[in-house]
């Protein structure tokens, strides 16, 4: 009997563009992945994507502690009032959105340090063109489209040209800051009636007010941009925790090789995340511009670092695969509460808020390392 029947042809690597988990995947193990194993892997990802809550709870507890201490120490200044809490939100609508987008990118295993430059560029675009008579709502749409294109370019370079995200976004930061100066080197105030009316509009609450030292009653309120920011964060949270796309982002951030074995198209996921983050940078940019109507080359200094800090304090790990969108929201509140306490204290410089933030980031990174070590030992 011939030995030819016993010869088994080697399995050729198969490259696939499919995003379905049951399809052939890249690598020599193609065809060996059974439906049961794939289903088990997806179930694990569902648990992982919805279970990154430990650090969020710690961050939330920290914020509550800071807020309670501030309310007790500065009771005479109404630190603990609803007005004071809403002030934290009213001053950070742009950062809330951009920190959420940054968290998504960090979960993917990437980074984007261009967002601060993008905010400056979008504010300058709004200020410059509306000064020339452009319609406010048309310009907001143009800014959002520009953000999508910006993210698409960066995503293409990261996903398909395999350039390091830090290098790509560093180039993007320089481009955005430079383009801001090209549009106009001068500071331009926004005077468009529609835009200013939207920026100044207030949504008042019928409860939680107080009488100030002059006897005037202060009703708590939020700006519409806060509502828009919170809605966007909730949408992104649902996407990241309740959809296949969100679980795919966690998978790629945890291990690209494992993600490919699950049948995921890693390149397309990276492209989608960076494109979406570009949209969020533009969305957060015009919300920031509503809070601070005007364009300037020096707009939003160190904004990207504040976004990264919010993501890390909220539980995101820079190695990827771990993070929570709601955690970034609480991270913004923690930063703002610290700055507010230092401002109320009066005798300390603003530099102490950065020092405190640096200490907090170090503590949270250590906590993350401890939690990861504990989980590995349990396994």
| 240 within domain boundaries | yes
For residues 351 and 101, which has the higher predicted lDDT (pLDDT)? 101
Inform me whether the pLDDT recorded for 193 exceeds 50: yes
- What was the pLDDT predicted at 38? 55
- On average, the pLDDT of the chain sits at 86
| 318 within domain boundaries | yes
Distance CA 300, CA 306 (A): 10
- What was the pLDDT predicted at 18? 42
- What's the whole-model pTM score? 0.84
- What was the pLDDT predicted at 15? 45
pLDDT tens per residue, range 244-298: 999 999 999 999 999 999 999 999 999 999 999 999 999 999 999 999 999 999 9
* pLDDT class of 208 with cuts at 50, 70, 90: confident
| 317 within domain boundaries | yes
What is the average per-residue pLDDT within 329-355? 89
In 3D, which of 176, 159, 143 has the Cα closest to residue 287?
143
Token pair listed for 12: 């050729």
Domain containing 239 equals 44-203+220-378
CA distance readout (Å), 38 to 93, 259, 270, 304: 40, 10, 21, 37
pLDDT tens per residue, range 46-105: 544 444 677 888 899 999 999 999 999 998 888 888 989 999 999 999 999 999 999 999
Token pair listed for 160: 């398909």
| 213 within domain boundaries | no
- Other CB atoms within 10 Å distance of the CB of residue 370: 10
- What was the pLDDT predicted at 376? 75
| 228 within domain boundaries | yes
Distance CA 306, CA 367 (A): 20
Give me the percent of the chain exceeding a pLDDT of 70: 85
Q: How many domains does the chain have?
A: 1
Distance CA 253, CA 244 (A): 14
Inform me whether the pLDDT recorded for 34 exceeds 50: no
- What was the pLDDT predicted at 240? 96
Q: Annotate the chain with three-state secondary structure.
A: CCHHHHCCCCCCCCCCCCCCCCCCCCCCCCCCCCHHHHHHHHHHHHHHHHCCCHHHHHHHHHHHHHHHHHHHHCHHHCCCCHHHHHHHHHCCHHHHHHHHHHHHHHHHCCCCCCHHHHHHHHHHHHHHHHHCCCCHHHHHHHHHHHHHHHHHHHHHHHHCCCCCHHHHHHHHHHHHHHHHHHHCCCCEECCCHHHHHHHHCCEECCCCCEECCCCCEECCEECHHHHHHHHHHHHHHHHHHHCHHHHHHHHHHHCHHHHHHCCCCHHHHHHHHHHHHHHHHHHHHHHHHHHCCEECCCCCCCHHHHHHHHHHHCCCCCCCCCCCHHHHHHHHHHHHHHHHHHHHHCCCCCHHHHHHHHHHHHHHHHHHHHHHHHHHHHC
Inform me whether the pLDDT recorded for 345 exceeds 90: no
pLDDT tens per residue, range 48-65: 444 467 788 889 999 999
CATH number for the domain spanning 174: value is: 1.10.3470
Give me the percent of the chain exceeding a pLDDT of 90: 68
Distance CA 133, CA 376 (A): 60
- What was the pLDDT predicted at 271? 98
Inform me whether the pLDDT recorded for 348 exceeds 90: no
| 104 within domain boundaries | yes
| 179 within domain boundaries | yes
What is the average per-residue pLDDT within 12-36? 42
pLDDT tens per residue, range 135-182: 999 999 999 999 999 999 999 999 999 999 999 999 999 999 999 999
- What was the pLDDT predicted at 24? 38
| 199 within domain boundaries | yes
């Amino acid at each position: 009997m011939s030995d030819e029947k016993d010869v088994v042809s080697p399995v050729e690597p198969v490259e696939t563009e499919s995003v379905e988990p049951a399809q052939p995947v890249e690598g020599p193990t193609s065809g060996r992945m059974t439906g049961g194993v794939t289903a088990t892997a997806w179930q694990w990802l569902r648990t992982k994507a919805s279970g990154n809550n430990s650090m969020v709870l710690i961050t939330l507890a920290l914020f509550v502690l800071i807020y309670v201490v501030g309310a007790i120490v500065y009771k005479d200044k109404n630190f603990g009032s609803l007005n004071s809490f809403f002030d934290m939100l009213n001053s950070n609508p742009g950062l809330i959105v951009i920190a959420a987008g940054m968290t998504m990118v960090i979960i993917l295993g990437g980074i984007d340090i261009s967002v601060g430059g993008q905010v400056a560029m979008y504010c300058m675009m709004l200020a410059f063109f509306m000064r020339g008579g452009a319609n406010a709502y048309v310009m907001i749409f143009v800014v959002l489209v520009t953000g999508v294109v910006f993210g698409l370019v960066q995503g293409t370079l990261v996903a398909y040209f395999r350039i390091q995200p830090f290098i790509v976004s560093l180039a993007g930061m320089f481009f955005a800051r430079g383009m801001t100066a090209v549009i106009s080197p001068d500071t331009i105030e926004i005077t468009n009636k529609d835009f200013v009316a939207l920026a100044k509009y207030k949504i008042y609450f019928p409860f939680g007010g107080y009488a100030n030292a002059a006897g005037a009653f202060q009703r708590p309120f939020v700006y519409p941009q806060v509502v828009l920011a919170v809605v966007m964060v909730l949408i992104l949270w649902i996407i990241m925790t309740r959809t296949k796309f969100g679980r795919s982002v966690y998978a790629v951030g945890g291990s690209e090789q494992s993600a490919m074995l699950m049948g995921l198209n890693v390149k397309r996921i990276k492209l989608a995340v960076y494109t979406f983050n570009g949209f969020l940078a533009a969305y957060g940019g015009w919300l920031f511009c509503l809070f601070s109507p005007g364009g300037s080359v020096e707009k939003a200094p160190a904004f990207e670092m504040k976004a990264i800090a919010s993501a890390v304090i909220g539980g995101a790990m820079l190695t990827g695969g771990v993070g929570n969108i709601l955690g970034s929201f609480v991270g913004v509140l923690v930063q703002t509460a610290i700055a507010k306490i230092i401002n109320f204290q009066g005798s300390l410089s603003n530099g102490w808020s950065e020092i405190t933030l640096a200490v907090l980031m170090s503590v949270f990174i250590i906590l993350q390392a401890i939690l990861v070590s504990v989980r590995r030992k349990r396994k």
